[in-house]
Amino acid sequence: MFWNNLAVAINYFLEIALELVVLFVGITFLVGLIQEYVPEETIKGALGGRHKILGSVLGAGFGALTPFCSCSTIPLLLGMLNAGVPFAAAMAFLFASPLLNPVIISLFIILMGWRVALLYFAITFLGSIVIGLLLDAIGFASQVKSVAAVRSRCNCQQETDTRSRMQRSAEFAFGLFSQLVPYLLLGAGIGAFIHGFVPTEIISQFAGPDNPLAIPVAAVIGIPIYIRAETMIPIGLALIEKGMGVGAVLALIIGGAGASIPELTLLSAIFEKKLLSAFVLTILFIAVSAGYLANLVIA
């Protein structure tokens, strides 16, 4: 029995790991090209001076194009706020950036199907916009501390020909891949172990779609464990195959990727306590809402 389970786990790991590697490098290379032709300063300028709703849509859209983890989002958020980007647009970016990017959406489509991917995108994208506008309307912009952004200066002139842009995009893709490949392989490894060795009955009983508390519990658990979405997706696929509800998996991914302990520590230097608490509650709300809606759609 053990050797059969081990063989199943190894086969699962090899299949998922190969898909993750090829997909991650390819999509990240395309993101690098987008960033080559649409630099950060251009996006900051586009977000400033806009109507609040349009600025929030653009902020969430910019967040959806940036393959950042939650902690990497904070310095860019600080730069936006100091550059005069409207509060609602900056918050929409903050919510969307760690949860939505081409890599995550592509992984969802390949591993979990387009319906789950579309639902995940719609809820997180629209939720980022609506919550950002709501926090601005309530007056939470006053809860941002006065913190100076530290910017790196570079006087070098980069080549702008197509070959140079392609080369920098490739360097960006493989550089990011070299940083994140341990997380990708870790996720594939944990998913393979679950797939091969964890009994289906256990997961179905405690985290199946019939357990109404599985979704909020998964959302709360996701925050302290700090699992990147790229890492959690292959784990979530294995959990779903073992009987865990899709909604609980989405809640776990959103909770872990959207409001991790390291991110909250960094945000505490920028946000007052009220805004920090509102941020955490917002992530939990999006996670739980996505979970219950996912179960309804799948049903």
Establish if 154 belongs to a structural domain: no
- Write down the pLDDT at residue 262: 60
Establish if 156 belongs to a structural domain: no
Any residues with CB less than 8 A from the CB of 269 and at least 6 apart, and which?
145, 147
Establish if 158 belongs to a structural domain: no
Establish if 153 belongs to a structural domain: no
- Write down the pLDDT at residue 155: 45
DSSP string, 251-290: HHHHHHHHS-HHHHHHHTTTB-HHHHHHHHHHHHHHHHHH
CB 187 within 8 A of CB 235: yes
Residue-range definition of the domain harbouring residue 290: 2-147+165-298
Any residues with CB less than 8 A from the CB of 245 and at least 6 apart, and which?
207, 208, 209, 210, 211, 214, 215, 291, 294, 295
Chain segment 99-156, per-residue pLDDT in tens:
787 767 776 787 677 888 888 888 889 989 999 999 999 988 888 876 543 443 444 5
- Write down the pLDDT at residue 238: 79
> Which residue ranges in the chain fall short of pLDDT 70?
1, 20, 23-24, 27-28, 31, 35, 38-50, 66-72, 74-75, 78-79, 82-83, 103, 107, 111, 146-158, 176, 180, 183-184, 187, 191, 198-209, 224-231, 260-262, 266, 299
- Write down the pLDDT at residue 102: 73
Establish if 248 belongs to a structural domain: yes
- Write down the pLDDT at residue 208: 66
Local structure of 157: helix, strand or coil: coil
Alpha-carbon Rg for the chain, nearest whole angstrom, is 20
Tokens representing residue 106 in the block? 């592509």
**Hey, which residues does 271 pair with through a beta bridge?**
144
Whether pTM > 0.75 for this model: the answer is: no
- Write down the pLDDT at residue 287: 86
Number of domains in the chain: 1
Nearest 5°: the CA angle 82, 83, 87 is 75
- Half-sphere exposure in the Cβ direction for 25 (13 Å, CA): 11
Establish if 155 belongs to a structural domain: no
What is the per-residue burial (b if ≥16 Cβ within 10 Å, else e) of 167-184? ebbeebbeebeeebbebb
